[in-house]
Each structure stands twice: as structure tokens, then as C-alpha cells.
Amino acid sequence: MRISAACMLALFFATTSFAQPAKPVVYVLSTGGTIAGSGSSTTDLSNYKPGAILGEQLVKAVPQISVIADVRVEQIVNVISSDITIDNLLTLAKRIHAIAKETPDVAGFVVTSGTNTLEETAYFLNLTVRTDKPVVLVGSMRPSTAISADGPLNLLNAVRTAISSDARGKGVLIVLNDEINAARDASKTNTLRVETFRSPELGLLGYVDEDQVSFYRSPTKRHTLNSEFDVTLLTQLPRVTILYSYIEPDATLIQAAIKSGAKGIVFAGTGNGALSIAEETVLKEVIAMPANTRPVLVRSSRTGNGRVTATTEYEAFGMIPGDTLNPQKARILLMLGLSRTSDPKELQRMFAEY
């Protein structure tokens, strides 16, 4: 009996198994925010409920993700990012550590977040996550129910970045609006526009386009695997306060911060971290306090761009210049630094290296 070529081909495919290549494993850790927000109408872009949707729903709403990755979703918390806590950040860092240890073949991590404090979450993880696997922060400026919601594509691009071999070792990344920024450099710069995350003069790291994930530079400051900060056993961090400078500031807030238990104060100074005579007058009283009772003082700037450099005037107060870190990121670094030491020279070293 003759068997036709077509039958032989059909028999071959029926009896031969073809192993499909395993898709890279990505963990999506969800924390809420606008990307998980829901409004009463498709044009409701401001009055919506953040964190109304769970991470599982976010991923399922973008079926293209399952084509490129084996995604495993965990809900860490579900809040507007303005309400996220240091305890939540510690939980995030510890969970990423645990997953990296339990699942060594994990390709990367995506953290969905509200955008209001996303930059602080990203920088905290940049300093505390001890892995070279990509950790990507993603959010959106429009809720999931809005016309032209930006969350779905942002999430897909975040997963694409997390599985990119070129993203490995570059520290924690922020991916929105098809752009990749470094956690240390980027900040939210606009209240409503989708292109809100910018790294002022230092610039973005790359793009996520339809054809590929492209990087053009790498961060140079210490981060992730090369960081000295270990939060494994920490349950809280020292309290650090930010005080904003302006014309005729209320300098009594400095003493109020100390009385409330602040171990460090970051000044959002004018220009190159400058303070007023009123603030300096109170600081003279502060530096007269016993060394073990006075807070560590850091100068940052309210300008949003540029370095804060050391000056003779402020070195006399023992103040640490914050370099290019904005006040909220300087606070994150100071809290982590104070969890290790209160030595001003060591803390100054950290601000120079991170």
C-alpha cells in the first residue's frame, strides 16, 4: 500500500513533539496607583479611584504580554502612591530579594506604581535591591478606563525592558511614554502630561520602540548589586524630614523637626542649596547641641536641576551637599545611610558615591 507524501507528513507531525522554547519569567509586583485606577466615564481623567484594579487584571488586559513572557503577579499593596509607606518599600525590596533567591531563572521584575512618588520608590529599590536582574518601575498618567489610557502600552514596554539582556546591570529603571530613565536621575516633572518623567540635563537612558529596546548610556553611580545597603533585617528607617526654603521661611520648623525625633533634615534650599539668615541662625543653635543629639543636615535644591556643591559657609555647619539628588531622593539616601552610621564623613562619602 502506497502512502501519499501528505499522509506521511501528517503522520510525522502527529508523532513528533516539538519543544517550545520557555518564555522568560517576569514577576509583576503591583502597588496600585493611576495605572490601576478606574473612573466613572472614559473622559474622567482626574476624578477617578486609584488602585481600583488588581495587578492580575492589569496583566490580563494586555494579552500581548503573555506572548513574550511567563508573568507571575503579586499584589504588594493597592494604594495611591501618595499613601505608600517606608514599610511598603521595605516589603517590596525584601520580596524581590526572596524571589531572586527562590527563582534564580527569573528574567526580571516589574513594579506597577502610582506616579506621584514613583521616583522615590524607584530610588529606594535602586539602593537596596541586591541583584543585577532588571527591576522596572512603571505607571501611567491616565486611569485604565480612560480614552487613550497609557497604562497598557507602558506595562507591555516595562515587561519588554525587564526581559531585555541589555537592561541587566543598569540599576532600577523607570519606563513610561516609550522612554527608559534611570531611577536616580528621573523625576515627575508635570502634573498631567504623559511625558512627565524626565532626567533634566542628564538625559534618558534609551527608548522602547516597536522593534526593540534600545539603550544609549548607563548610570555611573553605585546601585543595586554594588550597593552597601542591606534592608534584609530592617523593619524601619530613621526619621528624616524635608524643609523647604523660601522668602522669610519659618525657621522654627527646624527645631520642631528635631523635637519630633528627626535624625536628619534635608533642606530644599534656594539656588545652590542656599539658606536664609533666619535658618542659619537656628542652625547655629543646632550645631551647638551634643553630637549624639543633633540631626544630620543635608543641602539639596528646590530648583529641580543641577548639582549642590560644598561651600565654606555651609561646611562650617557640618552640612552635606546633596549633589544632583533632589530633596525627596536625598531623604531616601540619608535614611538608608543613617541606618548604617551617623558619622558625617561616611555619610558624605555615600552622597558622593550614590
Q: Which of 226, 253, 283 is the last residue of a domain?
A: 226
Q: Please report the pLDDT score of residue 82 as a whole number.
A: 96
Q: 8 exposed, middle or buried (CB, 10 Å; 0-12, 13-18, 19+)?
A: exposed
C-alpha cell at 170: 543598569
C-alpha cell at 1: 500500500
Q: Closest Cα partner for 146 from 35, 32, 53?
A: 35
- Whether 170 and 299 share a structural domain: no
- Whether 201 and 133 share a structural domain: yes
| Measured CA angle at 339 (ends 337, 342), to 5 deg | 65
User: In tens digits, what is the pLDDT along the chain, a chain of 354 residues?
Assistant: 555 555 555 555 555 555 678 999 999 999 999 999 999 999 998 889 999 999 999 999 999 999 999 999 999 999 999 999 999 999 999 999 999 999 999 999 999 999 999 999 999 999 999 999 999 999 999 999 999 999 999 999 999 999 999 999 999 999 999 999 999 999 999 999 999 999 998 999 999 999 999 999 999 999 999 999 999 999 999 999 999 999 999 999 999 999 999 999 999 999 999 999 999 999 999 999 999 999 999 999 999 999 999 999 999 999 999 999 999 999 999 999 999 999 999 999 999 999
Give the whole-angstrom CA distance, residue 72 versus residue 23: 12
Give the whole-angstrom CA distance, residue 272 versus residue 235: 35
Angle between helices 277-287 and 252-259 (to 10 degrees): 40
CATH number, domain containing residue 49 = 3.40.50.1170
Query: Would 3 be classed as within a structural domain?
Result: no
Give the whole-angstrom CA distance, residue 138 versus residue 154: 7
Helices (H) and strands (E) in the chain, counts: 11, 16
Catalytic residues: 34
Can you spell out the DSSP letters for 29-94?
A: EEEESGGG-EESSTT-SSSEETT-S-HHHHHHT-THHHHH-EEEEEEEEEE-GGG--HHHHHHHHH
105-143 burial code (b ≥16 CB/10 A, e <16): ebbbbbbbbbbbbbbbbbbbbbbbbbbbbbbbbbbbbbb
Beta partners for residue 270, in sequence order: 274
Give the whole-angstrom CA distance, residue 91 versus residue 95: 6
- Whether 338 and 280 share a structural domain: yes
Query: Would 8 be classed as within a structural domain?
Result: no
Query: Would 7 be classed as within a structural domain?
Result: no
**In 10 A of CB 336, how many CB atoms?**
24
Query: Would 17 be classed as within a structural domain?
Result: no
Amino acid at 234: L
3-state secondary structure (DSSP) of residue 179: strand
Task: Please name the residues in contact with 182: beta carbons below 8 A apart, sequence gap of 6 or more.
Answer: 170, 171, 172, 173, 174, 199, 202, 205, 219
Query: Would 10 be classed as within a structural domain?
Result: no
- Whether 253 and 208 share a structural domain: no
- Whether 216 and 244 share a structural domain: no
Query: Would 232 be classed as within a structural domain?
Result: no
Q: Which of 226, 248, 283 is the last residue of a domain?
A: 226
Q: Please report the pLDDT score of residue 21 as a whole number.
A: 80
- Whether 54 and 101 share a structural domain: yes
**Range of the structural domain that residue 291 is part of:** 240-353
- Whether 286 and 312 share a structural domain: yes
Positive or negative: CA dihedral 67, 68, 69, 74: negative
Give the whole-angstrom CA distance, residue 139 versus residue 176: 7
Give the whole-angstrom CA distance, residue 190 versus residue 24: 34
Cβ–Cβ < 8 Å for 134, 98 = no
- Whether 297 and 157 share a structural domain: no
Give the whole-angstrom CA distance, residue 307 versus residue 132: 28
- Whether 222 and 251 share a structural domain: no
User: E-strand spans in the chain?
Assistant: 25-32, 38-39, 48-49, 70-79, 106-112, 135-138, 173-176, 179-182, 187-188, 197-198, 206-208, 213-215, 240-244, 264-269, 296-301, 320-321
Query: Would 273 be classed as within a structural domain?
Result: yes
- Whether 154 and 187 share a structural domain: yes
Query: Would 6 be classed as within a structural domain?
Result: no
- Whether 198 and 288 share a structural domain: no
**CA distances from residue 323 to 78, 221, 235, 310 in whole angstroms, order as listed:** 33, 12, 28, 9
CATH number, domain containing residue 333 = 3.40.50.40
- Whether 215 and 254 share a structural domain: no
Considering its fold, how many domains does the chain have in total?
2
Q: Which of 159, 194, 226 is the last residue of a domain?
A: 226
